Structure 1
């Protein structure tokens, strides 16, 4: 039982760090990419649209890892009705964010096919 708890704690920490690192790294990348594109003479509208899409992809990917970490933490480490309620709220908020970011990136809701 203690081994499972230890593995869950390390897994949660690793997933949280990966989620944060992905959000930060892809945010920096998208801003630098946009600055370089603008310096090379790209259209402002196109450059900023690409920047927003790259940012959104980074945030969505990071959020998915953070959700996974929260699920592991709740199920393996702190399984109470309060923690399940908090997890449900976190997952709902992050799922809403992911869906709206997907709409921003593709112009379609996640459950719609690309048209």
Structure 2
């Protein structure tokens, strides 16, 4: 890669990383404010806690997407070595496991059962 692109790519990856961190932090703050608002409006603690967990999970998932994107750019464009590729592979595996786990926590079912839940909702609406 040309030397003139390197500083720009470093800046871009830093900006994406900061964006990912900001998404997680702002998502946590937003979820906290939302759950407090729900409790003040009279929603039960159990319902509010479920809402809080799903909102925090979504914020983490979105933030992780940004962080992985920055790592991909860094590995492919800035430092394309075998070691950085292996580190990226490990990060992607961990992120995939976290995403899968968070998806199960948020949705309350396995990802491959999504269509079953949608067809059950459709049949209960048409009844």
- Shift in CA distance, 10/111, structure 1 to aligned 2, threshold 3 Å: farther
Could you tell me how far apart the structure 1 residues matched to 2:113 and 2:21 are? Answer: 28
- Residue equivalent to 2:20: 19
Residue in 1 that maps onto 2:92: 91
The offset of 1:112, in angstroms, is: 4.6
**Deviation beyond 6 Å, 4+ runs, structure 1:** none
CA distance in 2, matches of 1:59, 1:88: 19
Q: TM-score, normalised by structure 2?
A: 0.84
Matching residue of 1:46: 47
Measured against aligned partners, the alpha-carbon deviations of 1:15-61 in whole angstroms (never above 9, x if no partner) come to: 10110000000101101111121122111110000000000000000
Q: Output the aligned Cα RMSD.
A: 1.4
For 1:110 and 1:14, the matched residues in 2 are separated by 32
CA distance in 1, matches of 2:112, 2:12: 30
**What's the counterpart of residue 33 of structure 2?**
32
In structure 1, C-alpha distance between the alignment counterparts of 2:93 and 2:109, rounded to whole Å: 19
Give unpaired runs (5+ residues) of structure 2: 118-127
Q: Specify every segment of 5 or more residues in structure 1 that has no aligned partner in the other structure, as ranges.
A: none
Conserved? CA contact 1:74–1:84, under 8 Å:
yes
Q: How many residues align?
A: 115
Larger Rg: 2
- TM-score by length of structure 1 reads 0.92
